[in-house]
Amino acid sequence: MKHSFCWSAFFILERRMETLKVNGNETEFPDGLPGTIAQLLKHLNIDEATVVAELEGKIISRDDFANTPLVDGQSIELIRFVGGG
């Protein structure tokens, strides 16, 4: 009993894909989590020059996109300017 429980837990861990909460949506990354914010933007095909990012509630300066690592389960907001009055 104990033995099989261990195996099933292992199986679940193996199968669970790494995720990020991007703009409120749980997003799975079948090919593995992007290593940095810059890589995430590249993955999503978003021009980083137009974006401001907030990782776990903390604003990340654009200069730090390439050296800010992402960890499974984190929440990130990607924000940009739109027309407004």
We find the least distance from the C-beta atom of residue 66 to other proteins, in angstroms, to be 16
Residue with token string 């390439």? 66
Task: Name the site residues for other proteins (rule: CB under 8 A).
Answer: 22-25, 44-47, 50-52, 54, 59, 61-62, 77-85
We find the least distance from the C-beta atom of residue 23 to other proteins, in angstroms, to be 4
Between CA 73 and CA 54, with CA 69 as vertex, the angle to 5 degrees is 70
- Cα 67 to its chain centre, rounded Å, is 14
> Which one, 13 or 82, has the nearer CB to other proteins?
82
We find the least distance from the C-beta atom of residue 25 to other proteins, in angstroms, to be 8
In terms of phi and psi (left: phi > 0; alpha: psi -120 to 50; beta: otherwise), the region of 2 is alpha
